[in-house]
Copies of this chain bind each other. A is one copy, B any other.
Amino acid sequence: MKQYRILIDCADKKGLVYTTSKLFYELELNILSNHEFVDSDNEKFFMRSVVEGEIEEATLHEKLNDVLMDEINFKVVSPRKKNIVLMVTKESHCLGDILIRYEAGELDANIVAVVSNYDLLEPLVDKFDIPFFCVSHEGLDRNQHELEVLKCLEQFKDIDYIVLAKYMRILTPHFVEAYRDKIINIHHSFLPAFIGANPYKQAHERGVKIIGATAHFVNNDLDEGPIISQDVINVNHDHSWKDMQRSGRDVEKITLSRALKLALEDRIFVHKNKTVIF
């Protein structure tokens, strides 16, 4: 038996569930799980079905194409290990969390490389026998450095996701466009609070009682892309901003790993600046 994830993302209209469930029935597919959502504000329909059967992927795709026709945006995905690149700077907590899960076989992914603008985390990455590339930004302006990074990334075919696991440099629109909807970032605040640099210092100065972290897709507005997951933790007056940073790291790593898992399982739809997550 083969398993497929069928992802539909289109303008809402009557009969979409009927059409697909009819096809699944005729093809003798078992529906293992089925999620739909109608975004009535935007008249959009989203569906994720996991089905099981004897059919080949190409045939299933063709059959779906026949019934859904041109205007319907759909994908058929066979569960497979996705290719991911991690980008980091100096902090190891998000990287380490992903590496430990990777080593345990918990991630449905191949980590094809770790890319950093420093060599500080090379020894950690080496332990796990994953290629590490240091692309230093020293002496380069933002554009020059990014071109070097892009050149480095080009050697890897079929990158499914780039995970910014505390990569502390801002990406240009050029980079973002090259990996559109494929870059997942962890921002160390509860967005949209404390956009930009040093959110823990900002949070400490503001005297908040809760801090958080936000995993999101990257678009061209700094820290403004579609949010995938968020989590928070209580703090109080006794916390210095360094304490907040320390507590915040646990939230960051769990939030990023959770978002990555959702992406690897094809559970995220992006529409405009928002996500639908099944």
Q: Is the CB of A227 within 8 A of B254?
A: no
Q: Which residues of B contact A30 (CB under 8 A)?
A: 14
- Closest B residue, CB atoms, query A272: B207
Q: Is the CB of B212 within 8 A of A227?
A: no
Kindly provide the distance from the CB of A128 to the nearest chain B CB, expressed in whole angstroms. Answer: 7
Closest 5 CB pairs of A and B: A207-B274, A96-B100, A127-B127, A193-B193, A18-B21
SS class, residues of chain A in contact with chain B: mixed
Q: Is A38 an interface residue (CB 8 A)?
A: yes
Residues of A within 8 A of B (CB): 14-15, 17-18, 21-22, 24-25, 28, 30-34, 36-41, 91-93, 96-97, 99-101, 103-104, 106, 124, 127-128, 190-194, 205-210, 212, 226-232, 234, 236-238, 240, 246, 250, 254, 257-258, 273-277
CA gap between A138 and B104 in the complex, in Å? 24
CA gap between A250 and B127 in the complex, in Å? 23
CA gap between A152 and B99 in the complex, in Å? 30
Q: Which residues of B contact A227 (CB under 8 A)?
A: 206-209
Q: Is the CB of A238 within 8 A of B24?
A: no
- Closest B residue, CB atoms, query A247: B258
Q: Which residues of B contact A276 (CB under 8 A)?
A: 237
Q: Is the CB of B100 within 8 A of A92?
A: yes
Kindly provide the distance from the CB of A231 to the nearest chain B CB, expressed in whole angstroms. Answer: 7
